[in-house]
């Protein structure tokens, strides 16, 4: 695993993209940014638009990657997603939030998709 955090993050996202594609997701955008922040991956899974947050961990020292998407992060991702839906005129689209966990504490990284990981969070 790379030692540089940016390299590690990019590797985690690449592993997530590969895993998502293998599971039937069609990638629409990576590192989408607007004035509210950034979403790691935007994909389509069947007829559903999916906003994906990738959480990669090199070790278990800071807890499981699943726990890293707290309420504040959910709110930020929700605001970016709403901005994307408005910008692309897809406000009526069926959408959800998934989290992809990449745990790379061993030689073979473990990748897990958590569909519907959290509801729309705002306010």
Q: What is the mean pLDDT of the chain?
A: 87
Q: What span, in angstroms and rounded, lies between the C-alpha atoms of 11 and 95?
A: 26
pLDDT, greater one: 21 or 122: 21
Is a pLDDT exceeding 60 seen at residue 1?
no
Specify the CATH number for the domain of residue 66: 3.40.1350.10
Token output for 19: 């895993």
Domain extent for 97: 5-114
Please check whether residue 66 is in contact with residue 55, taking contact to mean a CB–CB distance below 8 angstroms: yes
Domain contains 121 = no
Domain contains 9 = yes
Token output for 104: 């790379």
User: Which H/E stretch holds residue 17?
Assistant: helix 5-22
Find the mean pLDDT for residues 24-31. Answer: 97
Find the mean pLDDT for residues 39-44. Answer: 98
Please check whether residue 100 is in contact with residue 55, taking contact to mean a CB–CB distance below 8 angstroms: yes
Domain contains 16 = yes
Of the listed ranges 18-22, 28-32, 48-52, 70-74, the one predicted with least confidence: 70-74
- Of the candidates 39, 41, 51, 45, the residue with the CA atom closest to the CA atom of residue 23: 45
Query: Any idea what the Cα angle at residue 44 is, between residues 32 and 70, rounded to 5°?
Result: 55
Please state the domain count of the chain. 1
Of the listed ranges 14-18, 45-49, 52-56, 58-62, the one predicted with least confidence: 58-62
């Amino acid at each position: 695993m790379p030692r540089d955090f940016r390299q590690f993050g990019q590797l985690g996202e690449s592993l997530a993209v590969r895993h998502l594609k293998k599971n039937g997701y069609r990638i629409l955008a990576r590192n989408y940014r607007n004035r509210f922040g950034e979403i790691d991956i935007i994909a389509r899974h069947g007829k559903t638009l999916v906003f994906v947050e990738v959480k990669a961990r090199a070790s278990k020292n800071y807890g499981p990657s699943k726990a890293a998407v707290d309420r504040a992060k959910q709110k930020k991702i929700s605001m970016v997603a709403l901005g994307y839906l408005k910008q692309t005129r897809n406000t009526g689209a069926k959408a959800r939030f998934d989290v992809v966990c990449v745990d790379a504490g061993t030689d073979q990284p473990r990748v897990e998709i958590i569909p519907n990981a959290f509801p729309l969070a705002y306010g």
